[in-house]
Structures are given as C-alpha cells and as structure tokens.
Structure 1
Amino acid sequence: MKKPKRKNHAGRQLLASLVLVGLATGIFIYSSYQHRDLRAGKPFVPKEELPLATQLTPAQMKEDLATFEKQLAQVHPATAGGFSDETKAALEQAKKSVKSPKKVSEFTTILNQVAATLQDGHTAAVRLSDRQIPAQLRYIEDKLYVKNYSPPQPVQPAENGEGSENEEEAEPATDEEDGGESAAADGGQLQPGDELVSIGGVPISRITGRLKVITPTETGRSDSGTVKNSGLFYRACENDLLRESTLYAAGVDTSSGTVAVAVQRGGLQVTCTAPLADPAAPSFSYTIESGVCQLVLPYCDSGKEAASFLKEAFGAIKQQKVHTLVVDLRQNGGSGSDMTALLMPYIDVDNVKQFSNTVTRYSDLAAAQLGYRLTTGSALTDIGLQKNERQSDLLFTGQVYCLIDEGVYGTANDLAIALHDSGAAKLVGSDTAAASTGYGAPVSGQLKNSGICYRISHQKITRFADSDAAALTPDIAVKITPQELASQSDSHLQAVWEDVKKQK
C-alpha cells in the first residue's frame, strides 16, 4: 500500500530563488573556531538588482571588475599563490570587453567567464531574482528533454505589472536560427519526453553554447587534460537554461512574460507557449510501498523543519516495518545547509566518514560575514572520522540506497559522500556534478555599480576516501532515456527494486 507523506517548505520567493540558484551551495561546515567570533559575523543581505537590460558605462564596469578581481584574489583558496595563467588571460580579455557600454546581462557573462577559470561551481556571478519556465529538463546524449512541466495557476506577473523587468528587447534570432517555429503547429503545453528545439526562436544549441563558456569544468578534465562536458555543464543545462537571465543573454525576448518553445514530439515539431514565473519552493516528501521507503530530499536544510520531517518519516518507517530506505538526492544542489548531522543518526553506522580536512582562507569578506578574527592567511583543520550519535528509538537497520545524478552538488554531494563512504548506502544513478575534493563554503557580495551579486568559495574540502576521484560515482549505474521521461517511469527506482530482489 502506498502511503504518501509531505512536509511543505513554506519559503518566501527570495528563499526559493536562493535554493534554485544555489547561492550558498556548500555551507561552512568545519572551521578554525579558535579564530572566530560568532557574534561579529553579519549575513549578506543583497540590495535590489538592476534589470538585465540596464546599460552600464565602461567606467562603471571597470570599477566593478576591479572589485571582483580583488575579491577573487583575496578570498578563494585557489588564488592564494596568485592567479593562474588561464585566469590572467580571462581577466585581460574582460578588461578589453568592458571598454564599450554593456548591459547588466552581458557584464554578468563577462564576470562568469573569469570565475569559470577557477574550476569551482560555487564561485560565480549570480542572479537572485530570476523567473523561469516552470519545467524540469534532462540532458540525454547531447539533447535536452522535458521531464515535467508545472505551470503556475494563475501565471504570476512581473513586479512592475508590465511583463518583464527587461523592457528593452533582447537581440532577435536570425531567420536561419528561428528553429522553424513560424511554421509549427500549436503544441499546447509542454509534455514529458518533449525534445527542445528552440526557445523564442533561438536554437537550443545557441543557448547551451553560451552556458558552456561560463560553466567551470570542475569534474570535466580527462587524464590527458582535455576539457570535455562536465557534470556542472549538464547541471547548468538542466537547471539554469530555463531561467530568464540565461534566455535573455542568449537573445530570447522575455518582455511579454511568455516565450514560444519549439519541441519535437512524436516525430513532429510543434510549438508551445510557456510562462516565465517565480520558481516554486521545493518540499521534502516520503512514500512507503511494499517495505521500501523513498525519502525525497530536493534541497538541503539543517533547521527545525527538516529535523521535524525526518523524525516523522523515520517514525513511519519504524511503524510500517520498512526494510529498504531510498534517499533520493537527484537534482539536489545543496541549498546552503548540510543535512549530514540530521540524517546520519537515523542510520546504523558507528562512524561518519566524509572529509579528512579543510583549508580555510581568511579575508576581509569572510571575516565580515562569518566572524573570523583573522583577515589574512589560511588554516588547516583535520576532521577524520566522526562518531555517529545514533537515534536509539528510530534507528534504521535495513538496506540503504542513495539516488544521485548530475544535478547533485554542494552539500547534497557531501551528504551522498557521507552515506557512501561510511558504508551506509549504495549509490544508484550517474556521476554527480561536484568534485570529490573541491571548494565550497562561499561568501557573498554585491558589486557597487552593476548591482550584480557574486559568491566566492573560501574553503577547500578534501574527501576522506578516494580523494583523487573526479566525481562521486555510483555503485549501480543507471542511464535514463527519452522514452522513460515520456512514460513517467523511473529507472533509478527500478534498479533499486532489482538489487533488492538479488539480496533475498
């Protein structure tokens, strides 16, 4: 018998934006506490962002670029010994690019081309107030498909009541790039399994091409040093491509608040009209069926609501005699909080094996936000094995699986590492987007003239086991197909069921 339970996450629009954009993916987990004054830190509070179409002068961009360069040099662990040749070249190109007026959208791209050279998905210029097409995508063999579509009811208007904040039209696509939408039939709403062809007349290849130049190859360098598509690029295609800021930068006119989306469906090309809406806040949920519990964690949170949800879920797990737990982290980008300390006490392991050490870099920016007493230098903190404080009443002693994919990043990746490396769970799915040993715990800022927000990692975190691995890889590999999306089946769960049968 299927028994769904759901705990809604009552978040404001800003919180939803932070979750989906991933402003704080990767939390400050471990630190040199002897150098901290917790009362002195002040959280970053952004001011209102400028419309994407706002024109910036060369002088304004020159000043903001200098600020961004200074913060990268002072905050990020990778720049402690100076900028790499790749970063230096990107900065020189950026300084040339800002010699002529640019829109906020264009300047954001310039900043991200610089940030991408640090090969760290946490470090970037970000857009906090970003509408998007309300759909989920999956990247399969160099094509993008719709996983699901959930239009808001009713469609939410822009804050100014006149459609998009970006009243100036974006650069139109050429006749050759119109994706054939003018001749397409009405396709109604987007449907699972639809293959994206173009948005607003702009080919999908053009939009993904723009994403590629601003996405770090954190896990995408082969042994020969050749850059290939990385998990972060796949994650960007699946999570960032439908955002208004991405579409506008690629030349899509978003001023009406709706866009035309051309798709391949059943061998025909049809056009759907989709709204741009504020992102919906995700929620935790669980489902129990035939002794198997699927615990769906679409974001990470370490607060009271998450603690209450887990207590409720594991209470039901005990009551219904669940023998198999499936922790579903697919498309979880982290969202700023580490759930490891909340979840692991319910799992029957003696010790939590996650990270061996962290290197914390001190700076004015980190000191202001996190209360460090030091503003220069670095500190190494050993972590090692952490004793697991088991929940005596609701401890789960059965088989555990953890579902992962290229959408898993930040603290979600940290949680998957803890489950796997502690010997608690089998990983099912595909490689995650994050490097096993990488950067995190970003601090944030906002540029004076452009109003562009940014985040910069200030820690390097080393995985306890297999620290040289490029990414977290599954024990049971699963490849999804367009047919699976169209039929709304789930190959990840099917793989779990098959493995459970083998254990009997």
Structure 2
Amino acid sequence: MHRLYLFIFSVFAPVVGQAQDLSQKQATEDLLYLKKELEAYHPGMFRYTGKDSIDWYFQTALDQIQETDQIGFFASVSFLVNKLRCGHTQVLLPEKDQRTFLENQLFIPLEIRAVNGKWFVFNASLTGDQLKSGDELVSVNGLKMDEIVRRIFEHQSADGYITTGRLRLNEQFFPYFYQLFVARGTTSFQVEVSSNTGLKTIVLPGVSYTKIRSMRRPFQQPPQLVLRHEASYSYMKINTFSSRALGDAGLNYERFLAESFRELKQKEAQTLVIDLRGNGGGDDNYGAALVAYLARNPFRYFERIEVTESYSGYGNIVREKGRRLMTSHKGLDEWKPEAQRFRGKVYMLIDGWSFSTCADVAAVLHHNEWATLVGEESGGGYDGNTSGSTRTLILPHSGLRVNLPMWMYTTANSGHPYHGRGVIPHHRVSYTLQQLMREEDAVMEKVKSLIK
C-alpha cells in the first residue's frame, strides 16, 4: 500500500513553467474522463458514498463548470475526489503549476497546532514580536478558523470520516492549504488572536514559501527500526513498512523482527511498547509479519481483496457472489503465530499519521485484543482501504495527475462497529497547549503511567 499524502513530496520539485487556462469544453472533457476511469477501475468508489450521491456531485460540477485556470480546476477536482472518502485517491497538480503557484503567492507566516477544536500559534518567528507561541488563532481575514478548516478539509482525501490525519496535515502545511483553497492571491492577513491580554487584531504581510519552509522542521523522518530496553518495558519503533524506504536506508525488516523478538524472549521481557506513530504504511506482508509476532493464535489479516470488472493486472482473480476477488495475495492466507512471538503485555502507539498498512496492523490487533492501543484515532480506516496496484491518470487537458488505487482491501475484522472510522485507541490522549509548547510526549507518558 502507498504512503500517506503523496502529493506533499511533489511540492518542491525543481521545475518551472506557467499555469494554463482551460476552456469550458476542456474542463468538461477532463471531468467526464475522470469519472469514467474511476468507475472502471476504483473498486472502493462507493464504499462510503453512494453512487447516486457521487453522480450528483459530478453532474453538479459539470453543470457549473466555466472557463477556469489550472488552480481553480484543481480545487474542483480535489473537491470531487474528496467525496470518495478514500485516502489513497489523491489529485496532484502538474509540477510546473505547483512550482508556479509557490513562487507567485505570498503565505500567512504562521505555524499552528490544533488543541481540542481550537487552533493555536505554535511558531510565530516570522512575525517579529506581534504574535507569540500559544496565542489562539480565532480568525483570518474575517473567517473563523473552524470555517477555514472546514473548507480546506473539503479538498483533502481521507479514509471514511476520519479527521485526525487531516488535522495533522494542516498543522504541517496550513499556509499552503489556506492559500490554495481559501484565499488564493491574498498578500496580507488580518488575524484575530486571543491571548492573556484579551482579543487583538493585527495585519501580517505575506511571505514567500521559501521562508515558510525555513520556519518548519523537516516533514519526512528517516526510516527507523529501533529496539531498546528500559527498566520496566522494552520499546520498539517502526516508522515505515515500506520495503523500498527501508532497503534504501540499509535496513532489513525481516531480520530486525526476528532478532528483536528473539532478544525479547531471551531477556524475558514482560512489557513491549510498539510505536507506530508517523507510520504512513508500506508493504502489506510487512504489517502481517509484525502481527504474527504478537498473535496468540492463527489469524486472518485480510478478509478479501476486490477489483473491478475492468481490472486486468497482477493476481489470480475469481468471481464469487457477484464480486471479482483476488485469491493470490499472501495477506489472504491464514497466518500462524511466530515461534518467537511475544507473550507479554503489548502497548501500541498510533496517531493521525498511522495510515494504510499501519492502520491494518492496528485494526487486526485491536479486533483480536492482542494489544492495548494508546494515542489518537488512526488516519487509516478500520474497514481496510483501497490501495495496492495503482493507475496514474493524467487528465488530458489540465494535466492533473490522479492516483487511482485498484484493490479494495477488507480487513479481517467482520462485524466491527467502526464503519468509516479509524482505529480508536483504548486510551485516547489529547495534548494540552502547554504540552505542545514544551514538546512533551504525552502519549508516552500515558503509557508509562499505565505500565506503573
């Protein structure tokens, strides 16, 4: 499965060019092509939104479409794709248009964080002394923050009805998304903030995206496979299941699991904390292999994998009860617990970045009650997701790229009550503003208290 929010990493591609305008005819043809390809190849197109509703959204867009520029059309297409409620179905601007947008816009010079439905300034280093970290951001240019975030969410792909992944994404890239989906062309920002001294309104001049990037910490973290032992628990960190990323970093995942669980057994460890925060997914079988080291009895990882009538790619496909089902994926087999499986207490840490394969791992462990989950709702769905083999559509006139996944996975957890939701931890942890400002790890502190 693919990692979360692929389009982020095309933002900084070193290309140049000018955005193009689209005629009404060209925009219409692109939308019709997109709908035809989605219906032909996306098996999860109607998983959360009925066909009648999808048809209505597309027809409304077709009825209202006018001559538009590239960014405006991108907003329309991302709004439609959002209605599929599939986190792996994403729209990407052509790199030249992305670069032009970043070079030609001025952005709000703030980094923000969400706390209990409110948004707070986290980094105000580009505002001089006008704002301070910890000030609550109430509105921007007359729009309340809840309305701004609602508008942005309408264009961001996510599994089902999950919001945690989108919250985390906007904490990282709010200036970009605000400019793209709310106030393109804005050069100054009237912000209303609440602080210890009351409400105040100030005007912030926009800054270049180069300065925005200098304000933020790097988004991507290098692949990590870590095992260490503390006095009362052992700690394991796996921040990706991507075989390519791990291989490129010189890390051997299978060897890491085998050696780590052998070491845990030799040390007679009683408590294991597995940190999957920030893990955006990767290889299906890497996820199932981890579960096998934690399972108490034989288990199924996937219940089924469905494809459409038009699909003709990898895998042995059979027809059963009106569905076209894959039968050749190892994840569909019955898995047995590993001989070196861990027999003690397992805590697993998840967050809104825990997506795709990572969410599958969390869902299977949660369903079978083989781990106690701590943190926040995963960014990936409890039901499974649509990912795997993926087509890249290039819309003929706009050049927009659409990642179209072609395998609909259903996780082996039949009868669960979490349709459209992520994996909801047994112990939810909400950060306070003070914890964020001090950069405390409240989730790990919660686990330590549970262990005690």
Flag whether TM exceeds 0.5 (same fold): yes
Secondary structure in 2 matching 1:105: helix
Q: 1:485 to 1:127 in 2, by over 3 A?
A: farther
Q: 1:91 aligns with which of 54, 58, 64?
A: 58
Task: Report how far residue 68 of structure 1 moved.
Answer: 0.7
**Map 1:4-403 → 2, pairs under 5 A:** 19=3, 21-22=5-6, 53-78=19-44, 84-102=51-69, 104-127=70-93, 138-145=113-120, 185-186=129-130, 195-196=136-137, 204-205=145-146, 207-215=148-156, 218-220=159-161, 230-231=163-164, 233-238=166-171, 241-242=174-175, 244=176, 247-251=179-183, 274-276=211-213, 279-284=219-224, 286=226, 288-303=229-244, 304=247, 305=251, 307=253, 310=257, 322-334=269-281, 339-347=286-294, 349-363=296-310, 366-367=311-312, 370=314, 378-381=323-326, 386-388=334-336, 390=338, 392=340, 395-403=341-349
Cα deviations by residue, 1:393-432 (Å, 9 ceiling, x for unpaired): xx53332111123332211101212333344311112322
Q: CA deviation at 1:351?
A: 2.5
Residue equivalent to 1:7: none
Whether the aligned pair in 2 keeps the contact of 1:259 and 1:276 (CA below 8 Å) is no
Deviations 1:278-322 (A, max 9, x none): 854543253543243333333331354351555675577567764
Cα distance between partner residues in 1 of 2:346 and 2:369: 10
Q: What's the Cα RMSD here?
A: 4.6
TM-score, normalised with respect to structure 1: 0.65
Q: Distance in 1 between matches of 2:234 and 2:112?
A: 25
Structure-2 residue corresponding to 1:6: none
- The aligned amino acid for 1:298 is N
Q: Take 1:321 and 1:404, find their aligned partners in 2: how far apart are those partners?
A: 25
Q: 1:280 to 1:232 in 2, by over 3 A?
A: closer
Q: Is residue 464 of structure 1 aligned with residue 412 of structure 2?
A: yes
* Structure 1 residue ranges without an equivalent (≥5): 1-17, 25-46, 152-180, 221-228
Mapped to 2, the partners of 1:136 and 1:324 lie a distance apart of 37
- 8 A Cα contact 2:94 2:400, kept in partner: no
Q: For the residues of structure 2 that align with 1:49 and 1:468, how far apart are their CA atoms?
A: 47
Alignment partners' CA distance in 1, 2:256 and 2:303? 30
Q: Which segment drifts farther, 481-490 or 339-348?
A: 339-348
Counterpart CA distance in 2 for 1:437 and 1:185 is 47
Sequence identity, in percent?
23
TM-score normalized by structure 2?
0.72
Shift of 1:350: 3.4
Contact 2:347 2:372 in 1 (8 A): yes
Residues 74, 241 of structure 1: alpha-carbon distance in 2 compared, 3 angstrom cutoff? farther
**2:262 and 2:197 mapped to 1: Cα distance?**
48
**Following the alignment from structure 2 to structure 1, what is the Cα–Cα distance between the partners of residues 279 and 178?**
20
Question: Is 2:360 aligned against 1:414?
Answer: yes
2:377 matched to which residue of 1? Answer: 431
Cα separation, 1, equivalents of 2:334 and 2:122: 38
The change in CA–CA distance for 1:334 and 1:76 in structure 2 (over 3 A counts) is: same
Structure 2: segments with no counterpart, 5+ residues: none
Q: How many residues align?
A: 409
Query: In the alignment, which of 414, 433, 444 is matched to residue 482 of structure 1?
Result: 433
Q: 1:327 to 1:113 in 2, by over 3 A?
A: same
CA distance in 2 between partners of 1:107 and 1:99 (Å):
10
| Structure 1 residue 125: Cα displacement | 1.4
**Mapped partners of 1:292, 1:148: distance in 2:** 34
Conserved 8 A contact 2:277-2:351: yes
Higher relative contact order (CA 8 A, sep 6+): 1
Corresponding residue SS for 1:455: strand
Alignment partners' CA distance in 2, 1:336 and 1:204: 37
Q: Which has the higher helix share?
A: 2
Q: What secondary structure, in the 3-state scheme, does the structure 2 residue paired with 1:343 have?
A: helix
Secondary structure of the residue aligned to 1:469 is: coil
1:487–1:199 CA distance, 2 compared to 1 (3 A): same
